[in-house]
């Protein structure tokens, strides 16, 4: 996929299992359309973790915005501080929320459309390893079934703004995880990318890096 703007809101986390169906309905029918109605939001989508993904990281959500300033705008903050009843109910069932307001630092796409599979890499602390993704050639991407690579830098100041929604998300006892940076990879085959990350780039999950694998569930775009 090609990004639609220069900023993004990235979200990971889980929800208590007995509320999952309601969570998916809420996110598809109310939350994504509501966010897209905010000036500067361009696209929203939700992915669900593939088999083996732990419950704390089951969902990945991404919102393309014109730039990161949209995510500290008066209109957006008004939404965050005045959640609907359904939003309040759902957010109180979140577990291990991870949320990052980001600017795009590097992006490359071989296609314009959305594929079905995503690999997300979260760097919890500053790590120059992210630069390994900056100069991967079209040929290498194609050989490994990689359709796009997007690199993001988190704006921790904006991400840490206190809002009513942030407070509700901590109901289950966990504050928002604030990352340093992230890489989002869109691909054709998860196993090919796993092999590429481990053997070619020598990148693996540890205490400071989280790698997760997802399948696309739903997309909402402006217009």
End-to-end CA distance of the chain: 18
Per-residue HEC secondary structure of 41-57 comes to EEEEEEEEECCCCCHHH
Given this structure, which CATH class describes domain 7-221? alpha beta
Return the ∠ at Cα 210 (arms to 105 and 128), rounded to 5°.
40
| Beta pairing, strands 181-187 & 7-15 | unpaired
Residue 113 is predicted with a pLDDT of 80
Can you say whether the dihedral through the CA atoms of 223, 147, 216, 68 is positive or negative? Answer: negative
Contact status, residue 144 vs residue 91, Cβ threshold 8 Å: no
Contact status, residue 124 vs residue 210, Cβ threshold 8 Å: yes
Residue 51 is predicted with a pLDDT of 93
Give 107's contacts (C-beta < 8 A, 6+ positions apart): 2, 3, 148, 149, 150, 151
Closest CA to 44 of 21, 84, 76, 86: 76
Beta bridge partners of 186: 118, 148
pLDDT tens sequence for the chain (223 residues): 789 999 999 999 999 999 999 999 999 999 999 999 999 999 999 999 999 999 999 999 999 999 999 999 999 999 999 999 999 999 999 999 999 999 999 999 998 888 899 999 999 999 888 999 999 999 999 999 999 999 999 999 999 999 999 999 999 999 999 999 999 999 999 999 999 999 999 998 888 999 999 999 999 998 7
């Amino acid at each position: 996929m090609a990004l639609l703007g220069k900023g993004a809101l990235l979200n990971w986390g889980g929800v208590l299992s007995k509320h999952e169906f309601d969570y998916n309905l809420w996110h598809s029918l109310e939350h994504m359309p509501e966010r897209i109605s905010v000036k500067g939001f361009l696209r929203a989508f939700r992915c669900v973790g593939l088999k083996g993904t732990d419950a704390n990281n089951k969902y990945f959500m991404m919102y393309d915005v014109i730039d990161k300033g949209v995510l500290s705008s008066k209109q957006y903050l008004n939404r965050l501080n005045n959640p609907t009843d359904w939003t309040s109910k759902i957010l109180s069932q979140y577990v291990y929320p991870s949320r990052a307001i980001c600017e795009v630092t590097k992006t490359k796409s071989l296609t314009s459309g959305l594929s079905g599979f995503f690999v997300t890499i979260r760097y919890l602390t500053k790590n120059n390893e992210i630069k390994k993704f900056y100069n991967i050639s079209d040929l290498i991407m194609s050989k490994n079934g990689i359709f796009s690579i997007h690199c993001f830098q988190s704006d921790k100041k904006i991400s840490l703004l206190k809002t009513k929604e942030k407070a509700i998300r901590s109901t289950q006892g966990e504050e928002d995880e604030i990352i340093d940076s992230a890489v989002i990879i869109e691909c054709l085959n998860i196993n090919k990318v796993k092999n590429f990350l481990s053997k070619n780039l020598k990148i693996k999950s540890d205490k400071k890096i989280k790698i997760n694998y997802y399948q696309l569930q739903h997309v909402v775009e402006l217009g």
